[in-house]
């Protein structure tokens, strides 16, 4: 039996992330190879010509799952009755900037789009904010869409999660699929805390903790953390543009696992409204280890937090509260 069609909105659809993202969504990698979709693509008026070209390419790719494409710069048309909302549209940072430097430019976008979610979207819509600073922009959108449940809002830290897995895999000479249960705590910024202390790897069929397998605490507490924290800046320095194809892959992974579930025994990182877990008070969008089942996100509980981790988790929480203050002002 054919599944009911899902409406997916992607904002910033003529930008560089979306140029990698839209094909992945349209081919079924995000919501399943049996899931028909209607694509809503939102852009600012000056980018509508470029978006026309993107639409021509969607047509030319002949994706069987795509039932219709709505390309628009009108919020009502874009946000009406959507099931999934991927908010990419925002200015990216340039070399030498921190992501929070974008707040002044980008915050108003997320206020307006939060209001549009409130006015036009289904209350069950799942929202993923990608535009930076992603956690605080997500908080802004959520604030302006008070009738949509808080648990429907998330920001992207899956790219950091994937980066952490890849660094460990590279260090150990194993495949990324052998690295499990790393965690990104906090903000998608250079204060984020990539934590492998609860993770494990499978080497020759044997399960080993990452700490034991790597056997180099100085690296795990030093270069590993700073490499993941600063990877976005390193890509910008090399490309003179911020990461795009890896961001698109992370978006697909995030929404895929949210809607279709995480594998048994496996967790991923998602920035979601804090609920007091791990001593992080309510009021910010904080990245936690989570599992997903039937569209519901659950924070993994009971992980032991040592003093080293506690300190790093508090630093990134403090930054999020400062960003929130800045946004409110
Ligand atoms: P880009 O400049 O190539 O594309 C952004 C697009 O958004 C542009 O086409 C622009 O016209 C459009 N846009 C601007 N305002 C809009 C609005 N109000 N409504 C709809 N569209 C709008 O940028 P990009 O490289 O695609 O990056 C987009 C954002 O994603 C940036 O803020 C970047 O920093 C962020 N990002 C986040 C992550 C993450 O992991 N969270 C990773 C990579 C990039
Ligand atoms: C990334 O992590 O690559 C993105 O957030 C882009 C950036 O500004 O670092």
Instruction: Compute the distance from residue 198 Cα to the ligand 2 centre, in Å.
Output: 25
Residue 1 located in a structural domain:
no
Residue 259's CATH number: 3.90.110.10
Domain membership flag for residue 313: yes
Whole-model pTM: value is 0.98
Please give the full DSSP string across 42-83, using - where no structure is assigned: E--GGGHHHHHHHHHHHHHHT-TTEEEEEEES-HHHHHTT-S
Structure tokens at 297: 């996100």
Q: Provide residues with CB under 6 Å of ligand 1.
A: 11-12, 14-17, 42-44, 47, 88-93, 109, 130-132, 134, 156, 159, 188, 242-244, 247
Domain that holds residue 295: 158-328
Three-state SS letters, 199-250: CEEEECCEEEEHHHHHCCHHHHHCHHHHHHHCHHHHHHHHHCCCCCHHHHHH
User: Domain total for the chain?
Assistant: 2
Which protein residue's CA is at the shortest distance from atom 9 of ligand 2? 232
Could you tell me if 21 and 170 lie in one domain?
Answer: no
Answer yes or no: do 207 and 147 share one domain: no
pLDDT tens digit at each of 329 positions of the chain: 799 999 999 999 999 999 999 999 999 999 999 999 999 999 999 999 999 999 999 999 999 999 999 999 999 999 999 999 999 999 998 888 888 889 988 999 999 999 999 999 999 999 999 999 999 999 999 999 999 999 999 999 999 999 999 999 999 999 999 999 999 999 999 999 999 999 999 998 899 999 999 999 999 999 999 999 999 999 999 999 999 999 999 999 999 999 999 999 999 999 999 999 999 999 999 999 999 999 999 999 999 999 999 999 999 999 999 999 999 88
From 155, 190, 211, the end of a domain falls on: 155
Return d(Cα 296, Cα 291) in angstroms, integer. Answer: 8
The b/e string for 292-306 (b: 16+ C-beta within 10 A; e otherwise) is beeeebebbeebebe
CA–CA distances in Å: residue 73 to residues 40, 67, 79, 209, 245: 10, 20, 11, 49, 24
What contacts 257, CB < 8 A, 6 or more positions away? 268, 292
| Domain shared by 295 and 199, yes or no | yes
CATH of the domain at 13: 3.40.50.720
Assess whether 137 and 196 both reside in one domain.
Answer: no
CA distances for 317 relative to 134, 273, 306, angstroms: 14, 12, 16
Residue numbers belonging to the annotated binding site:
93, 99, 106, 130-132, 163
Q: Which residues fall in the annotated binding site for NAD(+)?
A: 106, 130-132
Domain co-membership, 13 together with 111: yes
Within a domain: 298: yes
Same domain, 231 and 277: yes
Check whether residue 124 and residue 181 sit in a common domain: no
Protein residue with least CA distance to atom 18, ligand 1: 109
Identify the domain boundary among 129, 155, 181.
155
Residue at 314 is within a domain: yes
**Which ligand ends up closest to the CA of 15?**
1
Decide which of 101, 129, 155 is a domain's last residue.
155
């Amino acid at each position: 039996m054919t599944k009911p069609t899902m409406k997916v909105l992607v904002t910033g659809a003529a930008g560089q992330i979306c140029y990698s993202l839209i094909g992945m969504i349209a081919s079924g990698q995000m919501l399943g190879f049996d899931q028909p979709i209607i694509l809503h693509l939102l852009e600012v008026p000056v980018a509508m010509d470029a978006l026309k070209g993107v639409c021509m390419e969607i047509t030319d790719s002949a994706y069987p799952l795509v039932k219709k494409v709505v390309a628009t710069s009108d919020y009502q048309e874009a946000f009406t009755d959507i099931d999934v909302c991927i908010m990419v549209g925002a200015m990216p940072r340039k070399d030498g900037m921190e992501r929070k430097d974008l707040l002044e430019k980008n915050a108003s976008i997320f206020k307006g789009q939060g209001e549009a979610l409130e006015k036009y979207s289904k209350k069950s819509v799942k929202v993923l904010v990608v535009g930076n600073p992603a956690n605080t922009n997500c908080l802004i959108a959520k604030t302006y869409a008070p009738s949509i449940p808080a648990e429907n809002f998330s920001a992207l830290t899956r790219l950091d999660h994937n980066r952490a897995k890849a660094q460990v895999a590279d260090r150990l000479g194993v495949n990324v699929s052998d690295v499990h249960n790393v965690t990104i705590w906090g903000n998608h910024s250079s204060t984020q805390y990539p934590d492998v202390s609860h993770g494990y790897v499978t080497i020759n069929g044997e399960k080993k903790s990452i700490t034991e397998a790597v056997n180099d605490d100085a690296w795990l507490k030093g270069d590993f953390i700073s490499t993941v924290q600063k990877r976005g800046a390193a890509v910008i320095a090399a490309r003179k543009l911020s990461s795009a194809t890896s961001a698109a892959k992370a978006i697909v992974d995030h929404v895929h696992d949210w809607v279709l579930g995480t594998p048994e025994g496996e967790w991923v990182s998602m920035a979601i409204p804090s609920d007091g877990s791990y001593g992080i008070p309510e009021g910010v969008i904080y990245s936690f280890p989570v599992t997903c089942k039937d569209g519901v996100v659950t924070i993994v509980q009971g992980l032991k937090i040592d003093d080293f981790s506690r300190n790093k988790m508090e630093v990134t929480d403090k930054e999020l509260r400062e960003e929130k203050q800045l946004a409110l002002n």
